[in-house]
Structure 1
Amino acid sequence: MKLLLTSAGISNKSIYNALVDLLGKPVAESSALFVPSAIYGVAGGNDIIRKVICGTLGDPFCELGWKSIGLLELTALPSLKREFWVDTVLKTDALLVGGGDCQYLTYWMQQSGLADLLPTLLERIVYVGLSAGSMIMTSYGTTFGSNSLPAETDKSLRLLAIAIHPHLDHEWFPENALAKLEKLAGTLSVPSYLIDDQSAVMVTSEGILMISEGKWKVVQPK
């Protein structure tokens, strides 16, 4: 298992070095697939996808100097023969899962069949999450309510018995102020990792390691 769960991408040298360590080789020698699907659950998502891929929004993610970079659109996968896309995924070095709506992303992870593949996949490749792409791997997710899914639809895949709360104290997200996230974390039954955009949670078979040049806090369940 090799996961790098970020708030905002590869935002500093420490997170970059952690990525290289997980890959076991330079980024320039590694292939990646970008999953943009979560952003469709957010208003204006289509333009955000273009900016992320072009490297003109936020921190490096797709535009990191990969040997090759492709798109894996989850909403298209159910209409394709499974062997057509599974082989491509298994041969990549890193899966880059972008941010947006956790509920929408979780739904399409499940509907596409990628969720079923993850246990095998995580033994072979590096999973790099950004915001919602990180949250869905844990026991806690959120939604913007912009989708038409039933309210009870899963908001995470619950593969890790922790919660990740990204964008700590970010000016764009007043609801992510430290005091508010601490209060929310206190209602959960798993440890909560509150991380700002200069922080990431690295998960391997050896355990959990914080990677940060910024601000973070772990809140234990009561």
Structure 2
Amino acid sequence: MKLLLTSAGITNPSVHEALVDLLSKPIAESDALCIPTATYGHPMAGPGEAWRFISGQEPRTPMCELGWKSLGVLELTALPSIDHDRWVSWVREADVLLVNGGDALYLGHWMRESGLADLLPSLRETVWVGLSGGSMVMTPRIGDYFVEWKPPAGGDSALGVVDFSIFPHVDHEMMPDNTMADAERWAADLSAPAYAIDDQTAITVADGTVEVVSEGHWRQFPS
């Protein structure tokens, strides 16, 4: 699987170009599935945010409105009640999974419960585009700083698809507790590799290579 881990979606030409490079074809020729699940787990989000994401009515975090060839919705909480082979075929036929922000631990829980997490290693050419919590879920840990929804086993562990953690929305004007100084304290508690990224920054992971794409500012914290 190829990853585009963003703070706020496809917010500038550099991140847009990185997306097209990972797809290896134009967006207009690519089939997408969007995953709104994380939205429902976060205390500051609700059904309005999910609708805006799915319908492409959220210009601050563009994802679904980019002009995809086709766009469907994959709601992870519904998958355990659907025949496994049926929904797996939907995922395998998609070029890209667009994963909304919200609560990363809630998203990770339902990725495991639904079976999507187990499917990821076989999706070698599929592009995962994460937005905030949709990016953090691929990391080993999100840090206590970001824990809202409590998973059954407790802790702050995510899926560990990559070996670094992510602090999104750094220095966001509407998030006074997301300063670079806050990110530095968060990273110190993790004692592991991490990045703080603003909404004009994304991280690509392809064939084991990690690259930062940015028209804003970011910082890497070594372990």
TM-score band w.r.t. shorter chain: over 0.9
Secondary structure (helix, strand or coil) at the match of 2:190 reads coil
Superposed CA deviations along residues 55-74 of structure 1, whole A, max 9, x for unmatched, are: 22223101110000000000
Task: Verify: 1:144 aligned to 2:145, yes or no.
Answer: no
Matches within 5 A, 1:182-221: 182-221=184-223
- Residue 206 of structure 1 deviates from its aligned partner by 4.3
Contact 1:32–1:66 at 8 Å: present in 2 too? yes
Supply the AA of the counterpart residue of 1:175: D
Task: Please give the alpha-carbon distance, in whole angstroms, between the structure 1 residues aligned to 2:65 and 2:129.
Answer: 14
Task: Verify: 1:167 aligned to 2:201, yes or no.
Answer: no
Secondary structure (helix, strand or coil) at the match of 1:174 reads coil
Contact 1:164–1:194 at 8 Å: present in 2 too? yes
Q: Identify the range of structure 1 (53-62 vs 176-185) with the bigger mean alpha-carbon deviation.
A: 53-62
Task: Please give the alpha-carbon distance, in whole angstroms, between the structure 2 residues aligned to 1:81 and 1:202.
Answer: 33
Contact 1:195–1:215 at 8 Å: present in 2 too? yes
Task: Please give the alpha-carbon distance, in whole angstroms, between the structure 2 residues aligned to 1:91 and 1:143.
Answer: 33
Superposed CA deviations along residues 66-103 of structure 1, whole A, max 9, x for unmatched, are: 00000000000000110110011001100111100011
Q: Identify the range of structure 1 (21-30 vs 49-58) with the bigger mean alpha-carbon deviation.
A: 49-58
Supply the AA of the counterpart residue of 1:144: E
Secondary structure (helix, strand or coil) at the match of 2:152 reads coil
Equivalent position of 2:64 in the other structure: 62
Contact 1:104–1:155 at 8 Å: present in 2 too? no
Equivalent position of 1:9 in the other structure: 9
TM-score by length of 2: 0.93
Equivalent position of 1:83 in the other structure: 85
Task: Please give the alpha-carbon distance, in whole angstroms, between the structure 2 residues aligned to 1:55 and 1:88.
Answer: 21
- Residue 165 of structure 1 deviates from its aligned partner by 0.8
- Residue 151 of structure 1 deviates from its aligned partner by 6.0
- Residue 155 of structure 1 deviates from its aligned partner by 4.0
2:114 to 108, 112, 115: 112
Task: Verify: 1:22 aligned to 2:22, yes or no.
Answer: yes
Q: Identify the range of structure 1 (51-60 vs 86-95) with the bigger mean alpha-carbon deviation.
A: 51-60
TM-score by length of 1: 0.94
Task: Please give the alpha-carbon distance, in whole angstroms, between the structure 2 residues aligned to 1:155 and 1:173.
Answer: 23
Contact 1:102–1:155 at 8 Å: present in 2 too? no
Contact 1:52–1:61 at 8 Å: present in 2 too? yes
Task: Please give the alpha-carbon distance, in whole angstroms, between the structure 1 residues aligned to 2:90 and 2:155.
Answer: 28
Contact 1:175–1:181 at 8 Å: present in 2 too? no
Secondary structure (helix, strand or coil) at the match of 1:62 reads coil
Supply the AA of the counterpart residue of 1:125: T
Contact 1:3–1:203 at 8 Å: present in 2 too? yes
What is the root-mean-square deviation in Å for CA atoms of aligned residues? 1.4
Q: Identify the range of structure 1 (37-46 vs 97-106) with the bigger mean alpha-carbon deviation.
A: 37-46
Unaligned runs of 5+ in 2: none
Unaligned runs of 5+ in 1: none
